[in-house]
Each structure stands twice: as C-alpha cells, then as structure tokens.
Amino acid sequence: MRRQDVLLALALAAAIVLPLVAPGYLVEVSMLVFFLAFIGQSWNISGGFAGQTSFGHAVFFGTGAYTSTILQITFGWNAWLAWPAGAIAGAIVGWIIAVLSFRAGLRGSYFALITLAFAEAFRILANSVSFTHAGLGMLIKADPRPANFQFRDPIWFYYLALALCIVSLLIAWQLTRDRFGARLVAVRENEDAARALGIDVFAEKVKALTLSGAIAAAGGTFYAQKYLYIDPNIAFGVDKSIEMLLVTMVGGAGTIFGPLLGALALTGINEATRALASVVPALKNVQPLSLIVYGVMLILIVGRLPDGLARLFHRVQRHA
Amino acid sequence: MLDPGILFAGVLNGLMAGGIYVLVAVGLTLIYGVLHIINFAHGSLLMLAMYAVFFLWRLSGLDPYAALPIVIGAAFAFGYLLYRLVIGRLSHGRDENILLITLGISIVIDNVALLLFGGNTQTVETPYASSFVQLGDAFLPLPKIISFVASLFICAVLGLFLARSDTGKAIRAVARERQGARLVGIDVDNIFALSYGIGIACLGAAACLLMPTYYVTPSSGHAFVLVAFTIVVLGGMGSFAGAAVGGLIIGVVESLGGLVLGEQLGQIGISAIFILILLLKPSGLFGARQ
Amino acid sequence: MNQPSRFPVSRRTFLAGSTALAAGTLGGPAIVRAQPAPVKVGLIHPVTGFVAYNGQQSRLGATMAIDDLNKAGGIKSMGGAKLEPLLGDSQSKVEVGVSEVEKMHEQGVAAYIGCFQSPVGIAASQAAAKYNTPFLIDVGASDLLVTRGLKNVFRLKPGFGVCVDQGIAALDSLNKAAGSPAKSAVIVHESGEFGTGTSKLLSGKLPSIGINVKEVISHDNPTRNFDNIALRIRSVAPDLVMMSNYQNEYVLLARTLFQQKVNLAGFYSFLGGGFNYKFVKEMPDVSQYMMDTNHWFNPKSEKAQALKKRIEATKALFTYELYLSYSVVMLLADALEHAGSADNEKLLAALSASTFKAELMPYGPTKFVNGQNQGGRAMTLQSLKGDIEVIAPAEFASAKAVFPRPKFT
C-alpha cells in the first residue's frame, strides 16, 4: 500500500502544479478529464458499485444544468447558491426515477432503457416549454467574477474540476470501505442473496441513484458555468449519457479510479486522433479517420481488458 | 385537430410508419432475445444497408424493392461475419462488454461511411414514389403501403421460420436456456452469429423499404433506433409478435400524439409509453413473465 | 503575433510558446530567408457527426480562399506573409470546440473562423475573448453570437432578423403584384434555436403584411416522416407553407407535400436548409416554384460565378457555407492588409473599422456594429426549371417570380 500512496501523492502534486507550467490547451484538456472523471464517478456509484447500468444519466446532468441556470437567469440567484440547488434537484430526480423503477422491479437492461426514456422525455420537454427557452437554449451572461461562479482564467475551472474529481474519488474510496458500499456491492453481485441477508435492496438502490443524481447534477452546473450556454441537446442528449457510461466501463466499473482512468484514456485518444487527421492536407477530407481510429481503439481496449483499465493496476482496490 | 377524419388519417399514417419500425424492431428484439445484448450498432447497420440500396440504384438502376433479396442476403452475411469475427471474439461473453463493443462498432461504421460516401444526403427516385391511394382524408403513398405489407409479410415468414424450422428451434432454445442448449449439442456460438445475422438481415429489408420515401446520410440510421428500443420493450424483449404489434402501436401513438400535442411535444408520447410499459408491465405485451 | 494576455497566465503562455505543440499544425513555417512568418488562422467546424457535410463545406470554402490568397501573393502589407490554416473539428460539441480554441491559441493563431453551430460558436468565441483574439463567424444563426458585448466577435453574414425582414418585404411585393392571393400561412420549423427564432419573428411580422398565421408546427431533428404534418397542412389549407429547417427535413417535407399534391399559392421558406443546387437538380418537379430567402452569392459577381464553376468542376456543391467562409477569409485578409500585422489589437481595430467589399455576396458596404455587419443581405430565390433564380432584390434578380404557383391537375 505504501508505494501506492506515494504514487498517488506524486500524481496529486503533479496535477496541482500542472497549470502553472503547462500550455493552456493541456490545462483545458486536463480540466475536461477531471470533469469527465467526476461525472463518470456519478455513473460509477449507481452503475459500477450498485450494478444498475443506466443509459440515461444525462437526465441528472441536464437537471442540474437547467436548474442552476434557470435560478440564475430567471430568478436572479447567485450561481454558488444555485449550484447546490441544482445538485438537490438532481438528487430528487434520481430518487423519483429510482423509486418508480425499482418499485416496478426493473433490473438490468430494463432499468437501463427506462433511464434512457427519462432522459429523452426531459430533452423533449426542455425543447418544448418556455421556461427553459425551448430550442433557443439558455445563455448565462458572461460576467467573469468569482462571485458569479465564472472565472476569467481557466486555471480556476481546472482546480475546481480537480477538486471535484478528488471529492468523487474520496466518495468512491469511502464506498469501498463502509457498509453502505458493501451493501451496494452485495446488491450488485446477487440481489436475491442480498435480500436474504437482510439488506433492504430497494432502499439501497434508491440511495445509490439519489447520490448519483446529485453528483451528476453538480457536474451539470459546472458545465453550464464553464461554457455559459446550454440547450436541450447539450443537457439531456444521449452523448453525455454515453460519455459517463463509457469512461467508467472502459476504466473499470466498480473501482475507485475507473472513471478517472477511463476519462484519461478516452480523452487522450480523442485528442490524439483528432489532431492526427488535422495534419493531413486540407482539401481531402479525412477527418472521420480520427473517429474511426477512436472507435477501433475503444473496441480493442474493451476486447483486451474486459474488466476495464483498472485491472492493469491490480493493486487498485476492487471491493471483492 | 380532433376532427374524426383527421384522426382516422392519422391512424393510417401511423400504421404505415409503424410498418418500417416493425422491421427495425424485429431485428433488435431477436438479437436481444437470443444474445441478451442491446445492439448499439443497429442504427449504423441500418444506415449501411440504406447506402447499399442507394449505390445499387445509382450504379445499376436497380429498383429498391427488386434489390430486397440482394440486400437482405448481404446484410445477413455482414451481420454474421461481424458477430463471428468481432463481437463474439472480443466480448468474452460479457453482456456489458458487448454493449461497448457494439458502440465502438457504430462509431467506426458511421465514420467509415462518412469518409467513403461523404456527408451529403442521398435519395433514390422511383417512378411510383408519387403514386398514392386516397382513403378519406388520408393520402397513403404507394411506397408506404408496400413497405407496410412487405414488412408484415417478412415478419410472418421469419416467425414461421423460428417456429417450424430446425434452426429456428435451435435459436429459440438458445434464447431460452443457453447452457441447456449447449448441453444438448447445439453450437451456441454459431446460433449467436446466425441470430445476429438475421437481425441485420431485417435491417436490410427495412432499408429497401425505406429508401423510396426517405434518405440516407451517415447519421440517418439512428433516428429509428430509439423508437425501435421502445417497441422492443413494449412488445416484450425477445418476442416477435410483440415487436410486430408494438411497432404498429407505436406508429399510431406517435402519429396521434403529433396531431394532438404538436409534432415536437408529441414525440413525448413515445417516451411516455416506454416509461409506462416499463413501470406497469415490463415484460411487455407478449413477453414472458419475468 | 498575439500580445501576452493580461491575466496571470503570461508566464505560462511564455513557457507554452517555447514548447509549442506540433500536432495540428499544417506544416511549420518554411525556414526560408526573408519569408515572413505565416499568419495562422484557426478553422473550427463540425466536420464529423450529424452536420458533417455543412462543416466540411465550410472548411472547404475557407481553405480554398486561403489557398487562392496565398497564390496571389499573400498579405502584401506584411511582406507577402501567407495564411496558414489550422484545421479543427468541433465534433459538434461545445467542449471540443473550446478545446480547439485553446489548442490553436498555443499554436499562435491570429484569428479564428467558425463554427456553423451556434452553441459551439458562442462558447468558442467566448473562449477566444480571453485572449482578445478575433473570432469570425462564417455561419451561425443565433443572435446571441453578437449580442454579448464581446469585442472580438465579427459576423459578416446577416442575422436571421435581417433575413426575415427582407423575406417578408419581398413576399409582400410578390403578393401585392399578384393580387394578394396569399392570406394565410402555416409555419413549419425545426425545434432548435434557428427554427424557433425564425418562426417567432415570422409570427410577429406576417400579420403586418396581411398574412394570417394559422398554425405553427415545430418538429424535431431528425424527423422520421412528415405524413402527419402534411395531413395538418392539408386540413388547415393555408395559402403558404413557410419552412425553416435543415436540409433533410426540408427536402422530406417538400417531397411529401408534392407527392400528396397539396395545392398552395406558394412555398416560401426562410433559410431553408435544403434549398440548394442538388435539391433542384435531383428533384426538379418537387422543387419547382419553391421560394426561399437565404444567404446567397451575388449572381452578377464574376468572381462568384468563377468560383462556382471551379467548385462544380470538382463535383462539389456550391453551397452557402462555402462562399460565406470564403468571404470571411477574404474579410480577414483585408483586415490584415490594413492592420499591417497580425497583432490582436491592430487586427481588432482593422476589423471593427472594416469597409471590406464582399465581392462574392450581394452585401451593402461592410460596417460592423457590435460585431454584426450591417451590410449583410439575404436574397429571395426561386427554383425554376431545375435551376435557382434570384427573384429579389430587383437589382440582382435573374428571373421573374412565378407566383402563385399553378395548381396540381
């Protein structure tokens, strides 16, 4: 364990120092990695630890983004207050979806699909109602002062993303040590056996999804504050759902560092392949090549490492 | 908008639309029923099949309907090989992994298509595309009537095949009880590949029936997949008859929802049905009790 | 090159400059004596994904313009400095667009051109604003692009407000000249920001020219079939159908209404995504008599006609993305000539004061107010006999409009 701790400390130190020495682009990309790791961890809690695969996690992400944005724009709330409000909204949505779905006994693919349906329903609603400005999207007025949860220098978003990532890692670490986490894993491994052991399976799954919803929603607000514009597709689109699922599963679902590893790998591959195609002469449009390589790499990683990248670091805890 | 004539026409339009959805859903439900995977590559494969129909038409003037046997055959072969060489090999039998692999495949296929065929929209012009049959307020384009009839016919044929033929029985056996099937000597891996192939062959048929009235771009397959998922769940995952009936129901719901709530909000009808079915009767209309 | 930014980033930028990334650079500056350093232009477009075709057309237009410019000797006032395109794929995602902005900033870009999709354009131009680097919008409909008070954003093409006003004025003349056969309309629009925004404006303004909006139909992207919309249109029986949507839905709806032989006085679209040469050539019957108010090149411009021939010779399509981004590159080049340098402040000043002659486009004199070119103009077009004719404004008209359209027999 000690060597692992030293490595972690070094990685943390490197992450803290990075923006002071690295080019802005690298800082931006690293910020995205930590952000993805954060929202990926939200998926990991319900999908990895509790084993409830979800295809529609964007429903929470978008709820957070829209809640905080509407509170700011329409009701004049301060962004820092709107943030926890958004997270609470995400938790509520998580709770509702969980109660409805698990009461109905949904499991496995059925649960995954209903989350997809909820995300799609929210997207359509957001596209149709006026308090989300429908298809026009919502623009947060650019006023880059820390008091507004907007920063002129992207370095602050980087540190915030890093902090969020660390918090999410700590949450995951806690789950590998405490009873709640142990109960989630029991539910994942064998629901009936868990029930037989006296675990209130329903309650545990609801808790997992509620927590997961809160975290994803917090990520949604972060995203809205960083880019200052959201619309129904950005907030509830299937792309975000897939990203959250992908980084966790590729990195190793149910592991602490899975989402971070997955985010690192996939972001790295995306950046590298995108740049690759840009080097080729302009008039021949070979940009799609970059995504072909990305897709192939995804297939190879999943094929070669069925348990995810975390398996490579077998000293990383996996709660058995 | 609640004029009975309009509603009647809406129902007919919905049935026609449902006909195509049925074919897409049938492939998905078969793949799910047998392999227990949600095929994320379904939309991309539909798109490929549609390009196949387009190029056959563009290069040799072959009518999309006449191309049915060719495209169905080619789609079957492609699906079979895709499973055998890629999906089966790399998934190590884990359901979650197959999901990611089909996702990766869809990214690759979408972008290969973009690279090779370009992003511009392609359509097929057929002489009968402008013909229609008028029933009251409904104007039913001939190609849509043909696709409705053809898709139900293909479903019936496929259903019979599954029920009566030896291969069909083997497929059903594997769907019901994988290990048991293996124990009685069924080559399960081959059945998996066959089932995947048949699922994709259905997409080939759907492509031929769609092209006279629709279009193809490298992203056009995905529009049908969410609906297909809804139908599969509505009908009962793995149930053939379910997919057929579910497809028609969804087509009608979408149509009436659009008329009553407005096209945009009407789409919520599909998600709403999806959610309600899952909450109230997850096994779907025809699915086996869980 | 760029001024070091005024935030506590200058040290990083300095270090970054000395560790410049090679990736994404299209060949380094040629190490030739007396050859001035090239001016790097960042192009950010969605060349993959749902709108890949539009993104690719934008990229094509911009890179052709850069090529042509370099062949003609580059920026004379900078010693013949050539423009060097940095190619970015936004992948239709806001975060990727912003990432590209940052990456290109590292590579010392003097200006950005992008992004086709307004959400990406909004975020990317905001990111570029940190560095005070000019961001030129080639295509992007949302007015949010130019109403944020950002000093670095410039949009050469008109916003949809201008397009709607012009289109309505043209419709009014057309209607009156034909004895006002059009009294009612149904608006069909895509549910995103361009369709919704355009439709709102239309609903507000059509009554003022005597046209009653009977219904507004919003649809998703993509829409699988238009049979029901056609059904509703038939039951409402408007004189006009007015569309604002993207290419595929536009063509599908037009085809559906044609196949069902819906009689209308006219199809009058605004920024109709499908109204282009491919549509009218491949579906002459469907497209015949359809009208659109859109971004269009100046048919009387020799340069534009020459460019059109060149493009069509390569079997590509002469679409608005192409000539808009071509024009934007020319705008940038013109500003660089006046500024005599690629320095941010000088370039921004040159752009703000620009009187660039947009030779390809039917624009009035260029004048940027809050980043929006007041000289931008749209044109009203009609598909006639498998070709596209300009029917308004009169000074550019190449044919007389046919309105109302003949009924189906």
Tokens of B245: 């009936």
Query: Could you tell me the residue ranges of all domains in chain A?
Result: 22-240
Please tell me the predicted confidence (pLDDT) of residue C216: 93
> Given this model, what pLDDT does residue C33 score?
52
Q: Which of C53, C55, C219 sits opposite B264 (nearest CB)?
A: C219
Q: Tell me how far apart the terminal alpha carbons of chain C are, to the nearest angstrom.
A: 66
pLDDT at B236: 85
Q: Is the dihedral of CA C317, C318, C323, C326 positive or negative?
A: positive
Instruction: Kindly tell me if the per-residue pLDDT of C8 is higher than 50.
Output: no
Q: Hey, what are A298's tokens? A: 């995804």
pLDDT at position C197: 87
Please state the three-class secondary structure of B140-155 as a single string. EEHHHHHHHHHHHHHH
Per-residue pLDDT in tens (0 to 9) along chain B, 290 residues: 568 888 899 999 999 999 889 999 999 999 988 888 889 999 999 999 999 999 999 999 999 999 999 999 999 999 999 999 998 888 776 777 888 899 999 999 999 999 999 999 999 988 888 788 888 878 888 999 999 999 989 989 998 998 899 999 999 889 888 888 888 888 988 999 999 999 999 999 999 999 998 999 999 888 888 788 888 888 888 788 888 899 999 999 888 888 888 777 778 888 888 888 888 888 888 876 44
Q: Is the per-residue pLDDT at C13 higher than 60? A: no
Are B233 and A288 a contacting pair at CB < 8 A?
no
Nearest C-alpha of chain A: how many angstroms from C332?
19
ipTM: 0.91
* Chain B residues near residue A242 by CB distance under 8 angstroms: 103
Tokens 């059509």 found at: C206
Residue C32, pLDDT > 60, answer no
Q: Which residues of A touch C130 (CB under 8 A)?
A: 152-154
The CA distance from C87 to C45, in Å, is 8
Domain C161-294+379-396 = CATH 3.40.50.2300: yes
Q: What pLDDT, on the 0 to 100 scale, is given for residue B290?
A: 41
pLDDT at C378 over 90: yes
Q: Using CA atoms, how far apart are residues A222 and C96, in angstroms rounded to an integer?
A: 16
Q: From the CB of residue C161, how many other CB atoms can be counted at a distance below 10 Å?
A: 14
pLDDT at B122: 93
User: Is the omega angle on the peptide bond into residue C362 within 30 degrees of 0, that is, cis?
Assistant: no
To the nearest whole Å, the CA of A104 is away from the closest chain B CA by 5
Residues of A with CB under 8 A from a CB of B: 53, 100-101, 103-106, 109-110, 112-114, 116-118, 120-121, 124-125, 127-128, 242, 246, 249-250, 253, 285-286, 288-289, 291-292, 294-296, 298-300, 302-303, 306
B141 touches chain C (CB under 8 A): yes
Q: Is it the case that residue C10 has pLDDT exceeding 70?
A: no
Nearest CA in chain C to A141: C148
The C-alpha atoms of residue C74 and residue C71 are separated, in whole angstroms, by: 7
Residue A305: what pLDDT?
Answer: 84
pLDDT given for residue A311 in this prediction: 80
Residue of A20, A22, A282 with shortest CB distance to C87: A282
Start-to-end CA distance of chain B, whole Å, equals: 40
Identify the residue with better confidence: A219 or B4. A219
Chains in contact with B via at least 3 Cβ–Cβ pairs below 8 Å: A, C
Whole-angstrom Cα distance, residue B76 to residue B78?
A: 5
Long-range CB pairs of A284-289 (<8 Å, 24+ gap) are A285/B115, A285/B118, A285/C47, A285/C56, A285/C59, A285/C60, A286/B115, A287/C47, A287/C48, A287/C56, A287/C87, A287/C89, A288/B111, A288/B112, A288/B114, A288/B115, A288/C47, A288/C48, A288/C52, A289/B111, A289/B115
Nearest CA in chain C to A130: C196
Backbone torsions φ then ψ of B119, nearest 5 degrees: -90, -5
Average pLDDT score over residue span A229-257? 93
Burial letters for A6-24: b for 16+ Cβ neighbours within 10 Å, e otherwise? eeeeeeeeebeebbeebbb
Instruction: List the single residue in A135, A223, A275 with the smallest CB-CB distance to C192.
Output: A135
Tell me the average pLDDT across A237-241.
92
Measure A163 CA to nearest chain B CA, in Å: 29
Would you say C239 and C266 are in contact if contact means Cβ atoms under 8 Å apart? yes
Collect all residues of chain A within an 8 Å Cβ-Cβ radius of residue B278: 101, 104, 106, 110, 113-114, 117
Token pair, residue A309, equals: 């990248």
The 10 Å Cβ neighbour count of residue B238 is 23
CA closest to A128 among chain C residues? C191
For residue C110, give the DSSP letter. S
For A6-24, the pLDDT digits (tens) are 989 999 999 999 999 998 8
Report the pLDDT value the prediction gives residue C27, as an integer from 0 to 100: 46
Q: What is the pLDDT of residue C144?
A: 86
Which of A139, A155, A282 lies closest to C63 in CB terms?
Answer: A282
Binned at pLDDT 50, 70 and 90, residue C11 comes out as very low
Pick the CATH number of C10-158+301-373 from 3.40.50.2300, 3.40.50.10740, 3.30.70.20, 3.40.50.720: 3.40.50.2300
Answer whether residue C25 shows pLDDT above 50: no
Q: Is the model more confident about C4 or about C100?
A: C100
pLDDT surpassing 70 at residue C331? yes
Residue C196: pLDDT band (50, 70, 90) is confident
Cα C79 from Cα B85, distance rounded (Å): 58
**Cα B107 from Cα C11, distance rounded (Å):** 40
What's the Cα-to-Cα distance from B207 to each of A240, B49, B57, B214, C290, rounded to whole Å? 29, 6, 13, 9, 29
Q: Judge whether B279 is closer than 8 Å to chain A, CB to CB.
A: yes
Q: Which residues 163-192 of B have a C-beta within 8 angstroms of A?
A: none
Task: Give residue B278's identity as a one-letter amino acid code.
Answer: L
The answer on pLDDT for C21 being more than 50 is: no
Cα–Cα nearest to B252, from B5, B4, B19, B26: B19
pLDDT of residue A152: 86
B106 touches chain C (CB under 8 A): no
**What would the pLDDT profile of C42-98 be if each residue is shown by its tens digit?**
999 999 998 999 999 999 999 999 999 999 999 999 999 999 999 999 999 999 999
pLDDT for position C26: 45
Instruction: Round to whole Å and give the CA distance between B147 and B141.
Output: 10
Domain with CATH 3.40.50.2300 in chain C: 10-158+301-373, 161-294+379-396
Chains that touch C (3 or more CB pairs under 8 A): A, B
Q: pLDDT above 70 covers what percent of chain C?
A: 91
Query: Which of the residues B103, B106, B260 would you substitute to probe the A interface, choosing the one with the greatest number of A C-beta atoms within 10 Å?
Result: B103
Query: pTM value?
Result: 0.90
Q: Stretch C151-173: mean pLDDT, rounded? A: 94
- Cβ of C232 within 8 Å of Cβ of B6? The answer is yes
Choose the mutation target among C12, C56, C93 for the interface with A, i.e. most A CBs under 10 Å: C12
Answer yes or no: do A275 and C86 touch at CB < 8 A: no
Using a CB–CB cutoff of 8 Å, tell me whether C56 touches chain A.
yes
Q: Which domains does chain B have, with CATH numbers?
A: 8-121+139-280 (1.10.3470)
Which structure tokens are listed for C238? 């408007």
